[in-house]
Amino acid sequence: MSRKRWKLMLVGISVLALISAACGGSEGSNTTLAGETTTTASAEPVRIGLVLPDLTNQTINDLYKGAQARADELGNVELSEGGTSDTGPWLDACNAFVASGVDVLMYDTLDGDAHTGCIEDANAAGILVVCLLACTSGGVQDATIALDFFADGQIIGRWMAEKVGPGGKVAFIEGLPGDEAAAAIGDGFLDGLAEACPDCELVARAVGGPDRDTAFTAATNVLTANPDLDGMYALSDDMAMGAFEALSTAGLADKVVLAGHNGTCEAMGSIVNGDLDFTQLLAGQPFGIAAIDTAMALINGQQPGTLVVDPIAIDTEFALGVLDGSVEPPSGVDVKDRLEQAQSGC
* CATH for 244: 3.40.50.2300
Are residues 82 and 51 both part of a single domain?
yes
Average pLDDT over residues 132-143: 92
Least confident of 28-42, 192-206, 236-250, 309-323: 28-42
CA distance 185 to 148: 9
Are residues 169 and 222 both part of a single domain?
yes
Are residues 87 and 181 both part of a single domain?
no
250 inside domain: yes
Band (22; pLDDT cuts 50, 70, 90): very low
Which pLDDT value is given to residue 296? 96
Are residues 217 and 336 both part of a single domain?
yes
Are residues 200 and 322 both part of a single domain?
yes
195 inside domain: yes
CA distance 218 to 226: 12
Are residues 291 and 318 both part of a single domain?
no
CA distance 83 to 48: 14
2 inside domain: no
Are residues 32 and 135 both part of a single domain?
yes
Find the largest Cα–Cα distance for the chain.
68
Band (13; pLDDT cuts 50, 70, 90): very low
pLDDT tens by residue, 166-216? 999 999 999 888 777 888 999 999 999 999 999 999 999 999 988 999 999
Half-sphere exposure for 32 (CA within 13 Å, toward CB): 22
Are residues 238 and 300 both part of a single domain?
no
- For residue 282, count CB atoms less than 10 angstroms from its CB and return exposed for 0-12, middle for 13-18, buried for 19 or more: buried
Are residues 134 and 183 both part of a single domain?
no
More confident residue, 313 or 28: 313
Structural domain count of the chain:
2
CA distance 86 to 88: 6
Which pLDDT value is given to residue 43? 65
The dihedral over CA atoms of 139, 142, 145, 146, expressed in degrees to the nearest 10, equals 50
- 37-40 and 27-31: which strand pairing? antiparallel
Are residues 109 and 25 both part of a single domain?
yes
Instruction: Write the secondary structure of the chain as one string of H (helix), E (strand) and C (coil).
Output: CCHHHHHHHCCECEECCCCCCCCCCCEEEEECCCCCEEEECCCCCEEEEEECCCCCCHHHHHHHHHHHHHHHHHCCEEEEEECCCCHHHHHHHHHHHHHHCCCEEEECCCCCCCCHHHHHHHHHCCCEEEEECCCCCCCCCCEEEEECHHHHHHHHHHHHHHHHCCCCEEEEEECCCCCHHHHHHHHHHHHHHHHHCCCCEEEEEEECCCCHHHHHHHHHHHHHHCCCCCEEEECCHHHHHHHHHHHHHCCCCCCCEEECCECCHHHHHHHHCCCCCEEEECECHHHHHHHHHHHHHHHCCCCCEEEEEECEEEEHHHHHHHHHCCCCCCCCCCHHHHHHHHHCCC
Range of the domain at 242: 149-276+314-343
Contact status, residue 259 vs residue 156, Cβ threshold 8 Å: yes
57 inside domain: yes
**Backbone CA torsion sign across 108, 113, 118, 121:** positive
- 128-132 and 143-147: which strand pairing? parallel
Are residues 57 and 118 both part of a single domain?
yes
10 inside domain: no
pLDDT tens by residue, 77-133? 999 999 998 999 999 999 999 999 999 999 998 888 999 999 999 999 999 999 998
pLDDT of 72 higher than 70: yes
Contact status, residue 249 vs residue 319, Cβ threshold 8 Å: no
6 inside domain: no
